[in-house]
Amino acid sequence: MLLTFFWIFGVIAMGSALLCITRKNPIACALWLVVTLFALAALFVLLDAQFIAVLQVLVYAGAIMVLFLFVIMLLNLGRPGPTDIKGPVGVLAAVVLAGALLLQLRVLSAAQLPSSIQLPAGTVAALQQQQGMVAAVANPLFNAYLVPFEIASVLLLAAIVGAVVLAKRKL
Amino acid sequence: MLLSPALAISAVLFTLGVAGVLLRRNAIVIFMCVELMLNAVNLTFVALAQILGMGGQVFVFFVMAVAAAEAAVGLAIILAVYRHKQSVSLQNMNLLKDG
Protein backbone atom coordinates (compact mmCIF):
# COMPACT_ATOMS: atom_id res chain seq x y z
CA MET A 1 0.00 0.00 0.00
CA LEU A 2 2.72 2.42 1.07
CA LEU A 3 4.84 1.37 -1.90
CA THR A 4 1.93 1.90 -4.31
CA PHE A 5 1.37 5.44 -3.04
CA PHE A 6 5.11 6.07 -3.19
CA TRP A 7 5.27 5.07 -6.85
CA ILE A 8 2.12 7.06 -7.69
CA PHE A 9 3.64 10.26 -6.31
CA GLY A 10 7.03 9.34 -7.76
CA VAL A 11 5.55 9.00 -11.25
CA ILE A 12 3.71 12.31 -10.79
CA ALA A 13 7.01 13.95 -9.78
CA MET A 14 8.95 12.48 -12.70
CA GLY A 15 6.22 13.19 -15.27
CA SER A 16 5.75 16.80 -14.24
CA ALA A 17 9.54 17.27 -14.14
CA LEU A 18 9.68 16.02 -17.74
CA LEU A 19 6.89 18.44 -18.70
CA CYS A 20 8.72 21.20 -16.83
CA ILE A 21 11.85 20.85 -18.97
CA THR A 22 9.99 20.50 -22.27
CA ARG A 23 7.32 23.25 -22.10
CA LYS A 24 8.09 26.31 -24.19
CA ASN A 25 6.42 28.88 -21.97
CA PRO A 26 8.47 29.72 -18.83
CA ILE A 27 5.27 30.15 -16.77
CA ALA A 28 4.16 26.62 -17.73
CA CYS A 29 7.64 25.39 -16.74
CA ALA A 30 7.33 27.08 -13.35
CA LEU A 31 3.85 25.67 -12.71
CA TRP A 32 4.91 22.12 -13.64
CA LEU A 33 7.87 22.53 -11.30
CA VAL A 34 5.41 23.45 -8.53
CA VAL A 35 3.58 20.16 -9.23
CA THR A 36 6.91 18.32 -8.92
CA LEU A 37 7.65 20.05 -5.61
CA PHE A 38 4.23 19.12 -4.20
CA ALA A 39 4.70 15.48 -5.27
CA LEU A 40 8.11 15.52 -3.59
CA ALA A 41 6.49 16.84 -0.40
CA ALA A 42 4.15 13.82 -0.52
CA LEU A 43 7.17 11.53 -0.93
CA PHE A 44 8.76 13.18 2.12
CA VAL A 45 5.63 12.40 4.16
CA LEU A 46 5.80 8.76 3.05
CA LEU A 47 9.47 8.69 4.10
CA ASP A 48 8.56 9.80 7.67
CA ALA A 49 9.82 13.38 7.23
CA GLN A 50 6.58 15.31 7.84
CA PHE A 51 8.30 18.47 9.03
CA ILE A 52 10.54 18.56 5.95
CA ALA A 53 7.42 18.09 3.81
CA VAL A 54 5.75 21.13 5.42
CA LEU A 55 8.91 23.15 4.83
CA GLN A 56 9.02 21.96 1.23
CA VAL A 57 5.52 23.33 0.60
CA LEU A 58 6.10 26.57 2.53
CA VAL A 59 9.61 27.43 1.35
CA TYR A 60 9.94 25.82 -2.07
CA ALA A 61 6.46 25.65 -3.54
CA GLY A 62 5.49 28.84 -1.70
CA ALA A 63 8.33 31.34 -1.42
CA ILE A 64 10.90 30.31 -4.02
CA MET A 65 8.46 29.56 -6.84
CA VAL A 66 6.57 32.81 -6.19
CA LEU A 67 9.91 34.60 -6.58
CA PHE A 68 10.46 32.82 -9.91
CA LEU A 69 6.96 33.69 -11.15
CA PHE A 70 7.46 37.30 -10.04
CA VAL A 71 10.63 37.60 -12.11
CA ILE A 72 9.05 35.88 -15.14
CA MET A 73 6.10 38.28 -15.01
CA LEU A 74 8.31 41.29 -14.26
CA LEU A 75 10.37 40.56 -17.39
CA ASN A 76 7.16 39.82 -19.35
CA LEU A 77 8.48 36.46 -20.57
CA GLY A 78 5.06 34.80 -20.68
CA ARG A 79 4.18 36.15 -24.12
CA PRO A 80 4.42 33.73 -27.06
CA GLY A 81 7.72 33.84 -28.90
CA PRO A 82 10.38 31.62 -30.45
CA THR A 83 11.17 28.50 -28.47
CA ASP A 84 14.31 28.47 -26.34
CA ILE A 85 14.81 24.70 -26.68
CA LYS A 86 17.97 23.87 -28.62
CA GLY A 87 17.93 22.27 -32.07
CA PRO A 88 18.07 18.52 -32.90
CA VAL A 89 21.84 18.28 -32.26
CA GLY A 90 21.43 19.92 -28.86
CA VAL A 91 18.50 17.62 -27.98
CA LEU A 92 20.49 14.54 -29.01
CA ALA A 93 23.51 15.65 -26.99
CA ALA A 94 21.33 16.37 -23.94
CA VAL A 95 19.57 12.98 -24.16
CA VAL A 96 22.83 11.05 -24.59
CA LEU A 97 24.61 12.86 -21.75
CA ALA A 98 21.59 12.58 -19.44
CA GLY A 99 21.27 8.87 -20.25
CA ALA A 100 24.93 8.31 -19.36
CA LEU A 101 24.41 10.19 -16.09
CA LEU A 102 21.29 8.17 -15.28
CA LEU A 103 23.22 4.93 -15.86
CA GLN A 104 25.97 6.10 -13.53
CA LEU A 105 23.49 7.13 -10.84
CA ARG A 106 21.68 3.77 -11.07
CA VAL A 107 24.97 1.90 -10.59
CA LEU A 108 25.80 4.20 -7.68
CA SER A 109 22.43 3.71 -5.95
CA ALA A 110 22.67 -0.08 -6.31
CA ALA A 111 25.73 -0.04 -4.02
CA GLN A 112 25.22 -1.70 -0.65
CA LEU A 113 25.74 0.45 2.43
CA PRO A 114 28.04 -1.18 4.97
CA SER A 115 25.91 -2.41 7.86
CA SER A 116 28.35 -0.90 10.38
CA ILE A 117 27.15 2.65 9.61
CA GLN A 118 23.45 1.74 9.49
CA LEU A 119 21.29 2.27 12.54
CA PRO A 120 19.25 -0.69 13.77
CA ALA A 121 15.88 -0.89 12.00
CA GLY A 122 13.25 1.37 13.55
CA THR A 123 15.66 3.65 15.45
CA VAL A 124 14.61 6.82 13.63
CA ALA A 125 10.91 5.94 13.87
CA ALA A 126 11.29 5.31 17.62
CA LEU A 127 13.13 8.63 18.04
CA GLN A 128 10.32 10.46 16.23
CA GLN A 129 7.71 8.69 18.33
CA GLN A 130 9.52 9.60 21.51
CA GLN A 131 10.48 13.23 20.80
CA GLY A 132 7.92 14.30 18.22
CA MET A 133 8.49 15.18 14.56
CA VAL A 134 9.84 18.70 15.03
CA ALA A 135 12.03 18.01 18.05
CA ALA A 136 13.67 15.05 16.34
CA VAL A 137 14.94 17.45 13.63
CA ALA A 138 15.55 20.39 15.97
CA ASN A 139 17.74 18.51 18.46
CA PRO A 140 20.59 17.72 16.03
CA LEU A 141 20.09 21.10 14.31
CA PHE A 142 20.73 23.11 17.48
CA ASN A 143 23.32 20.79 19.02
CA ALA A 144 25.57 18.95 16.58
CA TYR A 145 24.90 21.32 13.65
CA LEU A 146 24.82 24.63 15.54
CA VAL A 147 27.84 26.17 13.76
CA PRO A 148 26.56 25.35 10.24
CA PHE A 149 23.19 26.80 11.32
CA GLU A 150 24.82 30.11 12.29
CA ILE A 151 26.84 30.13 9.06
CA ALA A 152 23.59 29.61 7.12
CA SER A 153 22.16 32.73 8.77
CA VAL A 154 25.21 34.75 7.66
CA LEU A 155 24.79 33.31 4.15
CA LEU A 156 21.16 34.44 4.05
CA LEU A 157 22.15 37.94 5.22
CA ALA A 158 24.79 38.10 2.48
CA ALA A 159 22.20 36.93 -0.06
CA ILE A 160 19.73 39.65 1.01
CA VAL A 161 22.37 42.38 0.72
CA GLY A 162 23.65 40.94 -2.57
CA ALA A 163 20.18 40.75 -4.11
CA VAL A 164 19.44 44.37 -3.17
CA VAL A 165 22.79 45.59 -4.56
CA LEU A 166 22.37 43.63 -7.82
CA ALA A 167 18.73 44.41 -8.51
CA LYS A 168 18.74 48.10 -7.61
CA ARG A 169 19.42 50.49 -10.46
CA LYS A 170 21.14 53.10 -8.34
CA LEU A 171 22.04 52.80 -4.68
CA MET B 1 11.38 -0.67 2.31
CA LEU B 2 11.12 2.57 0.39
CA LEU B 3 14.85 3.25 0.05
CA SER B 4 15.53 1.83 -3.40
CA PRO B 5 12.44 3.35 -5.10
CA ALA B 6 13.34 6.69 -3.51
CA LEU B 7 16.88 6.49 -4.85
CA ALA B 8 15.56 5.52 -8.30
CA ILE B 9 13.10 8.45 -8.41
CA SER B 10 15.81 10.79 -7.15
CA ALA B 11 18.23 9.62 -9.87
CA VAL B 12 15.60 10.21 -12.57
CA LEU B 13 14.71 13.67 -11.23
CA PHE B 14 18.38 14.69 -11.08
CA THR B 15 18.90 13.45 -14.63
CA LEU B 16 15.87 15.41 -15.83
CA GLY B 17 17.31 18.52 -14.18
CA VAL B 18 20.65 18.02 -15.95
CA ALA B 19 18.85 17.37 -19.25
CA GLY B 20 16.89 20.60 -18.76
CA VAL B 21 20.07 22.60 -18.20
CA LEU B 22 21.55 21.11 -21.39
CA LEU B 23 18.34 21.53 -23.39
CA ARG B 24 17.21 25.08 -22.67
CA ARG B 25 18.52 28.55 -23.48
CA ASN B 26 16.29 30.59 -21.20
CA ALA B 27 18.30 31.53 -18.09
CA ILE B 28 15.26 31.40 -15.77
CA VAL B 29 14.24 27.91 -16.96
CA ILE B 30 17.82 26.70 -16.48
CA PHE B 31 17.64 28.12 -12.98
CA MET B 32 14.45 26.15 -12.32
CA CYS B 33 16.21 22.99 -13.54
CA VAL B 34 18.96 23.63 -10.98
CA GLU B 35 16.25 23.80 -8.30
CA LEU B 36 14.95 20.46 -9.60
CA MET B 37 18.42 18.94 -9.12
CA LEU B 38 18.60 20.31 -5.56
CA ASN B 39 15.23 18.73 -4.83
CA ALA B 40 16.35 15.37 -6.20
CA VAL B 41 19.29 15.47 -3.80
CA ASN B 42 16.91 16.40 -0.95
CA LEU B 43 14.92 13.25 -1.69
CA THR B 44 18.12 11.20 -1.38
CA PHE B 45 18.94 12.87 1.93
CA VAL B 46 15.49 12.16 3.37
CA ALA B 47 15.48 8.56 2.12
CA LEU B 48 18.88 7.81 3.63
CA ALA B 49 17.97 9.61 6.88
CA GLN B 50 15.68 6.66 7.62
CA ILE B 51 18.58 4.26 8.01
CA LEU B 52 21.52 6.59 8.77
CA GLY B 53 20.01 8.96 11.37
CA MET B 54 18.39 12.40 11.52
CA GLY B 55 21.47 14.19 10.15
CA GLY B 56 20.08 13.74 6.66
CA GLN B 57 16.93 15.70 7.45
CA VAL B 58 19.02 18.46 9.02
CA PHE B 59 21.02 18.71 5.81
CA VAL B 60 17.80 19.16 3.81
CA PHE B 61 17.35 22.28 5.95
CA PHE B 62 20.70 23.63 4.85
CA VAL B 63 20.06 22.75 1.20
CA MET B 64 16.79 24.72 1.39
CA ALA B 65 18.56 27.73 2.95
CA VAL B 66 21.24 27.67 0.25
CA ALA B 67 18.59 27.25 -2.47
CA ALA B 68 16.67 30.27 -1.15
CA ALA B 69 19.84 32.39 -1.07
CA GLU B 70 20.78 31.18 -4.55
CA ALA B 71 17.32 31.97 -5.94
CA ALA B 72 17.39 35.51 -4.51
CA VAL B 73 20.88 36.35 -5.82
CA GLY B 74 20.48 34.47 -9.10
CA LEU B 75 17.21 36.14 -10.01
CA ALA B 76 18.72 39.52 -9.13
CA ILE B 77 21.59 38.77 -11.53
CA ILE B 78 19.09 37.77 -14.24
CA LEU B 79 17.22 41.06 -13.67
CA ALA B 80 20.48 43.00 -13.98
CA VAL B 81 21.43 41.15 -17.19
CA TYR B 82 17.96 41.71 -18.65
CA ARG B 83 18.25 45.43 -17.99
CA HIS B 84 21.55 45.41 -19.86
CA LYS B 85 20.70 43.14 -22.83
CA GLN B 86 16.85 43.15 -22.97
CA SER B 87 16.96 39.35 -23.10
CA VAL B 88 17.44 36.36 -20.80
CA SER B 89 18.56 33.99 -23.56
CA LEU B 90 22.02 32.53 -22.95
CA GLN B 91 22.71 32.87 -26.69
CA ASN B 92 23.09 36.61 -26.21
CA MET B 93 25.53 36.27 -23.32
CA ASN B 94 28.80 35.75 -25.15
CA LEU B 95 30.87 38.61 -23.79
CA LEU B 96 33.81 36.33 -23.01
CA LYS B 97 33.65 34.44 -26.30
CA ASP B 98 36.49 35.21 -28.75
CA GLY B 99 35.72 36.78 -32.11
Assess contact for A47 and B54: CB atoms under 8 A: no
Residue B99's pLDDT band (boundaries 50, 70, 90)?
low
Beta strands in chain A (DSSP E): none
- Which residue among A26, A93, A124 places its CB closest to the CB of B54? A124
Is B99 domain-assigned?
A: no
The stretch A40-65 carries a mean pLDDT of 93
Nearest CA in chain B to A102: B15
Is B87 domain-assigned?
A: yes
Closest approach of chain A CAs to the CA of B37, in angstroms?
10
Is B42 domain-assigned?
A: yes
With 0-12 CB in 10 A as exposed, 13-18 as middle and 19+ as buried, what is A129? exposed
Is B41 domain-assigned?
A: yes
Residue B65's pLDDT band (boundaries 50, 70, 90)?
very high
Structural domain ending residue among the three candidates A64, A79, A94: A79
Is B98 domain-assigned?
A: no
Residue B93's pLDDT band (boundaries 50, 70, 90)?
confident
Q: Over the stretch A62-99, which tens digit does the pLDDT of each residue have?
A: 899 999 999 999 888 877 777 888 889 999 999 999 99
Q: Over the stretch A108-163, which tens digit does the pLDDT of each residue have?
A: 988 888 888 888 877 888 888 888 889 999 999 999 999 999 999 999 999 999 99
- Residue A75 CA to residue A90 CA, distance in Å, equals 26
> Residues A134, A65: one domain?
no
Q: Over the stretch A4-29, which tens digit does the pLDDT of each residue have?
A: 999 999 999 999 999 999 998 999 99
Which chain B residues contact residue A14 at CB under 8 A?
A: 9, 12-13, 16
The stretch B44-62 carries a mean pLDDT of 92
- Residue A34 CA to residue A13 CA, distance in Å, equals 10
Residue B90, pLDDT > 80, answer yes
Domain that holds residue B67: 3-92
Is A114 domain-assigned?
A: no
Tell me the CATH number at B20: 1.10.287.3510
Enumerate the β-bridge partners of residue B13: none
The reported pLDDT for the residue numbered A171 is 65
Q: What is this model's ipTM?
A: 0.92
Q: Over the stretch B2-52, which tens digit does the pLDDT of each residue have?
A: 889 999 999 999 999 999 999 998 999 999 999 999 999 999 999 999 888
State the distance between the two ends of chain A, measured CA to CA, in whole angstroms: 57
Nearest CA in chain B to A101: B15
Q: How many domains does chain A fold into?
A: 2
The interface residues of chain A toward chain B in range 10-69, judged by CB-CB distance below 8 A, are 10, 13-14, 17-18, 20-22, 26, 29-30, 33, 36-37, 40, 43-44, 46-49, 51-52, 55-56, 59-60, 63-64, 67-68
